[in-house]
Chains A and B, each alone.
Chain A
Amino acid sequence: MRIVCPFCGERELGEFTYLGDAKPVRPAAGASEDEVFDYVYLRDNVAGETSEYWYHGGGCRTWLKIARNTLTHEISSVEPAAGAGAAKVGA
């Protein structure tokens, strides 16, 4: 598998580390135990298009949000995480 890193270009799978589903959003401070439990443990087992986090540890150390089809392994988009690079969000 090859991933086109927005900073480094097309690179080989071995440079990246897979984390998992990018859909769950960390609940804000003060969230209930149930909400946090869902965030930590509940995942959809998707056959088809998914959004997931990958880390380019063998390159620029950017966390990437990748849209991948679990049936074909086809990657349709690669975006850097909101806080990637030097810029602060909203700055």
Chain B
Amino acid sequence: MAGGQTNRLDSGGLIDRSAPLNFRFDGKTFSGFQGDTLASALIANGVKLVGRSFKYHRPRGILTAGSEEPNALVELRTGARREPNTKATTAELYEGLEAASQNRWPSLRHDVMSVNQLFAPIFVAGFYYKTFMWPAKFWEAVYEPAIRRAAGLGRAAGVADPDHYDKAWAHCDVLVAGSGPAGLAAALAAGRSGARVILCEEDFSPGGRLLSDGGTIEGLPAAEWLSRTLAELATLPDVRIMTRTTLFGVYDGGTYGAIERVNDHLPSPPEHQVRQRLWRIVARRCVVAAGAIERPIVFAGNDTPSVMMASAMRTYVARYAATPAKRIALFTNNEDGWRTVEIALGAGLQIAAVIDARPDVSPAHRSLASKGGFPVLHGSVSGVDGGKDGVKKIAVSLTGGARAEVEADGLAVSGGWNPAVGLTSYHRGRPKWLDDIAAFVPDGAPPGMVAVGAANGAFGLGACLAQGFAAGSAAAHDAGHSGKAGTAPVADDEAFSLTPLWHVAGKGKAFVDYQHDVTASDIELAQREGFESVEHLKRYTTLGMATDQGKTSNVAGLAIMAAVSGRSIPETGTTIYRPPYVPVAIGAFAGHHRDETFHATRLTPSHHWAAEQGAVFVDTGLWKRAQWYPRAGEKDWLESVTREVSAVRGGVGFCDVSTLGKIDVHGADAGAFLDRVYINTFSNLAVGKARYGLMLREDGMVYDDGTTSRLAEDHYFLTTTTAKAGLVMQHLEFCRQVLFPELDVQLTSVSDQWAQFSIAGPKTRDLLKEIVDPAEDLSNEGFPFMGAREVRLRGGIKARLFRISFSGEMAFEISVPARFGDAMARNLMLAGAPFGVTPYGTEALGVMRVEKGHIAGPELSGTTTAADLGLGKMMSTKKDFIGRVMAGREALVAPDRQVVVGIKPVDKARRLRSGAHIIPKGQTPGPGNDQGYVTSVCFSPTSDQWIGLGLVERGRERMGEIVHAHDPLRGEDYDVELCNPVFYDPDGGRQRG
């Protein structure tokens, strides 16, 4: 006995007695050792009651010693790191660990909700559907909140997770899942052959059942063989063993998902380290040595604390030197359960009795019983007398009908073993039934994968080693490695005999799914009510739908369904297996993609300069764009934006427009190519000229717009909108490579190569003269509107200059290599100072485009045609182009379509808002008379009022008509006038001047 650990053995186990650890459970302080799990430490301290069940609030203890645990779920850690539904059986103990039991109030021992047990008759399968039917509105108001309080598992932290998570890729020839004897043998064979091997083990110690069950391999004790094997694997250069790593999913093309709990075994991750890492592992071959899960037998009271799986019982004794009970009874239907008796006796524990459901017991075990002085009872356990303090008495139905009672404080149960068929079944594989072990085994596997050892239904130690070694060697060979693997490690196979037993009839609740409180009678009820199919059974009773995905319960549940529906188990079948094999935190899937690193951020070439100016930035896609440049004394954004607009219209301003997509189009057929992707013609564009172009989707709707310039006979420079830059490139590549491969044309994305600035306003030419080499002719004759050519700047830098205008002013756009973008912004400020140059942001840009009636994103909505946008005349009738035929469909040329029109409020002082619906004046708004909506609005300094654009039925024919704007979202109703969408300089004299 060690320091209050009343149930700790003095010697043995894989714990480090020189490293004691203090921890707290439900506020009480305990101690354990390095090497413990929370579960083993609780057992060592004599704690039997660890939680309350989901529905009935029944007292529950620890059932297993692994990731299949349905009962012992706790809230681990506190504050922001509090993690609900953590399995005590896999949580490693660390100094200062804090855990709390779940689903109880006010305390675990005195839980008021345990009165639910009295109402058990109404909490049967499907009770939600049956009980809370009426009245309908009661569901949200009364039933659901009440049920959520009463049922459920742990509480989430409720605040942001302070830890970091990582995602990583790994590649290997052979991936091995599980480090038991089969997995180790596979890694050994593959590694010796020269293959790159990754071995994933979910435990913190490799070895699998060798850590608990012992055995003899190659004439050595298992522990000795294990350490020698691990030492050899460590010498192989390409073998990587990843402990605390669970392979949870199988994806196409040999891609596997794994979760590595990098620092879950520490109170918090060390600085700069991640808590967990999500691995995507690409492997040529995968050997699944994931073992098997021991299954319970369903009998009344089988959920009493200290009723435990037989393998778990011996794991706690042998691996952790912790004794779940002092006087143990074993209820088994197979040979393997007896190992628990051997190990318990070896540790000096008492055996109360063995209840064996098989007709015969081996002579060796019979003599073990007489030596140990305990009876062997042929029959089954029909009831348990006990409660939150554990088992007291066990009722036994003997074969032949007699009854017996056994006094014990712990009951080990073994109903046989279910191979872990998850990984092999994730591609909708259906496992097959094997009668001799009464279990499902993999029937094939995803490409490149093979199951070995217990995961393949081979339970003997010798068979595990042989299968693992052969598969590892074959996998390495398949991956192209032919080094000498040597011979497989040899061990004897233990005897395995089993008489299937799923359910013992008796009085009292007999649990199938512990975590969701599904009983044998729930399954019988489901069958009576017609939910016979396993998929219906699952959803009606919630069998197997808890966080453990029914690892201990599914097979027993369908065996009971098979029995009551008069079918065989394979006829009843299994449900579909889906990843993940264990719960994986959403944070691990997100990795670093959260908060400011949720996505990549793109900065314009003048970003740092703009930031120095105090610009306010707006996110447009991945870009950060300067939205406006506030100045001291300005009270709001509107004042800043209005100043910027007035400065441009009255003088000169500039704006970084580098975010536009830019594509160089080269080749003898470049013009012919553009003719096919744009609705208008580009092959006849003169060298040195720019033209506005509009492209459609093949269905006839407008896709994107922008200007394209012809810089040489065989060289065009095309621009796209910011939003569609990547998509237009993809679309044009499709046109070039797939639709028109006969054309001699090449596309180069140069969006990131050029920094582009719009310089606008009547003083633009004055400013440009300071920037551009004096030899360049910028006069209206030398560089007319829509001119485009390469120029040299003062200092010799080559630039591209385009006389195009989005603002409606006399304007140029200038492109310089992106590395000069920052210098260009600074230089424009310097050279423009005498002219009062004003940098402007996207808001002012937007105001000026609305004033000019130019379309942008809100009008290019994917549901508008060229004609809707007032650009129908651009559609050439002399050539084929993408979208031409579909754009001519009846509904797309109907006269009553909603088209772009200008909108201004009748009350000049009123603010417009986009999204308002347009209704004929004097009518009550409704879907029947909704004639369109306001798409874009701005305060126009030039008009000194709010103006807007809208898509309105027959809008262009109705200019001058007063209509009603209805905005139910903001509760606004007002009259507006439909008008010419070009509010500013309608004849375009300013931009041509």
Partner of B741, one of A1, A39, A75, A83: A83
**Given A1-B252, A17-B730, do A53 and B888 touch, yes or no (CB 8 Å)?**
no
Q: How far is the CA of A61 from the CA of B888 in the complex (A)?
A: 32
Tell whether A9 is near chain B: CB-to-CB under 8 Å: no
Report which residue of B251, B734, B885, B886 has the largest number of chain A beta carbons within 10 angstroms of its beta carbon.
B885
User: Is the C-beta of B494 less than 8 angstroms from some C-beta in chain A?
Assistant: no
Q: Tell me whether B740 is interfacial, beta carbon within 8 Å.
A: yes
Residue of A12, A72, A82, A86 touching B746 (CB-CB under 8 A) = A86
Please provide the chain A residues from 3 to 50 with a CB less than 8 Å away from any CB of chain B in the complex. Answer: 12-13, 17, 19, 26-27, 29-31, 33, 36-37, 39-41
Instruction: Say how far B430's CB is from chain A's closest CB, in angstroms.
Output: 15
A76 shortest CB reach to chain B, Å: 13
Residues of A near B169 (CB, < 8 A) are 12
In the complex, the answer to whether B730 meets A90 with C-beta atoms within 8 Å is no
Q: Whole-angstrom distance between the alpha carbons of A19 and B741 in the complex?
A: 18
Question: Which residues from chain A contact B774 at a C-beta distance below 8 Å?
Answer: none
Kindly state the interface size class of chain A when it binds its partner: 35 or more
Minimum CB–CB distance for A21 against chain B, Å:
12
Cβ proximity bits A67-88 to B, threshold 8 Å, 1 near / 0 not:
0000011110000111110101
B880–A30 touching, CB < 8 Å: yes
Closest CB-CB distance, B479 to chain A, in whole Å?
A: 14
B160 at interface, CB cutoff 8 A: no
CA–CA, A30 to B888, complex, Å? 13
Q: Within 8 Å of chain A (Cβ to Cβ): is B733?
A: yes
| Distance, CA A19 to CA B254, complexed state (A) | 23
Q: Residues of B contacting A62 with CB < 8 Å?
A: 737
B726 within 8 A of A: yes
Cα-based distance from A73 to B253 in the complex (angstroms): 8
Q: Are A82 and B886 in contact (CB under 8 A)?
A: no
Contacts of A1 in B (CB 8 A): 251-253, 255
A83 and B885 contacting across the interface, CB-CB below 8 Å: no
Contact A55 B730 (CB under 8 A): yes
CB of B213 closer than 8 Å to a CB of A: no
Q: Do B743 and A88 have beta carbons less than 8 Å apart?
A: yes
Chain A nearest CB from B730 CB (Å) reads 6
Cβ–Cβ contact B733 & A61, under 8 A: yes
Complex partner residue of A83 from B252, B726, B737, B888, CB under 8 angstroms: B737
- Chain B, residue nearest A31 (CB): B885
Whether A89 lies near B741 (C-beta < 8 A) is yes
* Inter-chain contacts of A37 with B (CB < 8 A): 886
Pair A29/B254 contact, Cβ less than 8 Å? no
What CA separation (Å) do A89 and B743 show in the bound complex? 8
Are B744 and A33 neighbours in the complex by a CB distance under 8 Å? no
B752: CB under 8 A from chain A? no
- CB pair B740 A29 closer than 8 Å: no
How many residues on B have C-beta within 8 angstroms of the other chain's C-beta atoms? 33
Task: Judge whether B737 and A63 touch: CB under 8 Å.
Answer: yes
State whether the Cβ of A59 lies closer than 8 Å to any Cβ in chain B. no
Contact of A36 among B253, B742, B746, B886 (CB under 8 A): B886
The answer on a CB contact under 8 Å between B734 and A2 is no
Chain A nearest Cβ from B273, distance in angstroms:
26
- In the bound assembly, the distance between CA atoms of A8 and B741 in angstroms comes to 21
Q: Which of B280-294 contact A (CB under 8 A)?
A: 280, 282
Residues of A within 8 A of B733 (CB): 55, 61, 63
Contact of B734 among A40, A53, A74 (CB under 8 A): A53
- In the complex, the chain B residue whose C-beta lies closest to that of A26 is B739
CA of A55 to CA of B737, assembled, Å: 11
At the interface, yes or no: B889 with Cβ under 8 Å from chain A?
Answer: yes
Does B111 lie at the interface of the complex (its beta carbon under 8 Å from any beta carbon of A)? Answer: no
Q: Which of B251, B737, B880 contacts A82 (CB 8 A)?
A: B737
Kindly identify which residue among B699, B739, B742 contacts A90, using a CB–CB cutoff of 8 Å. B742
Decide yes or no: A57 and B698 within 8 Å by CB, A2-B254, A37-B886, A89-B741 being known contacts.
no
Judge if B736 is at the interface, Cβ distance under 8 Å. Answer: yes
Inter-chain contacts of B253 with A (CB < 8 A): 1-2, 13, 73, 75
Q: Please report the C-alpha to C-alpha distance between residue A90 and residue B295 in the assembled complex, in whole angstroms.
A: 68
Q: Are B741 and A2 in contact (CB under 8 A)?
A: no
A2's partner among B252, B427, B743, B885 (CB-CB below 8 A) is B252
- B742 near A89 with CB under 8 A, answer yes
Contact in complex: A33, B743 (CB < 8 Å): no
Given A36-B886, A88-B744, A81 contacting B251 (CB threshold 8 A): no
Task: Name the CB-closest residue of B to A55.
Answer: B730
Chain B window 884-911, contacts with chain A (Cβ cutoff 8 Å), 1 for yes, 0 for no: 0110110000000000000000000000
Known: A40-B886, A88-B744. A83 touches B736 (CB 8 A): yes
B394 to chain A, nearest CB (A): 51
Q: Which A residues are CB-close (under 8 A) to B736?
A: 83
B738 touches A (CB below 8 Å) = yes
Per the bound structure, the CA–CA distance linking A57 and B737 in Å amounts to: 13
Chain B contacts for A90, CB-based, 8 A: 742
Q: Hey, which chain B residues are within 8 Å of A29, CB to CB? A: 879-880
Contact B282 A2 (CB under 8 A): yes
- Chain B: residues with CB nearer than 8 A to chain A? 169, 251-255, 280, 282, 427, 447, 698-699, 726, 729-730, 733-734, 736-744, 746, 879-880, 885-886, 888-889
- A-B pairs with lowest CB-CB distance, top 8: A83-B741, A29-B880, A2-B253, A1-B252, A82-B741, A83-B737, A81-B737, A36-B885
Supplied contacts A55-B734, A63-B734, 18 more A-B pairs, CB within 8 Å: A1-B255, A2-B253, A2-B254, A2-B255, A12-B255, A12-B280, A31-B885, A36-B886, A37-B886, A40-B698, A53-B738, A61-B730, A62-B737, A73-B252, A75-B253, A80-B737, A86-B746, A91-B744
Q: Can you give 13 contacting A-B residue pairs, CB < 8 Å?
A: A33-B888, A53-B734, A53-B738, A55-B733, A55-B734, A63-B733, A73-B253, A74-B447, A75-B253, A81-B738, A82-B737, A82-B741, A83-B740
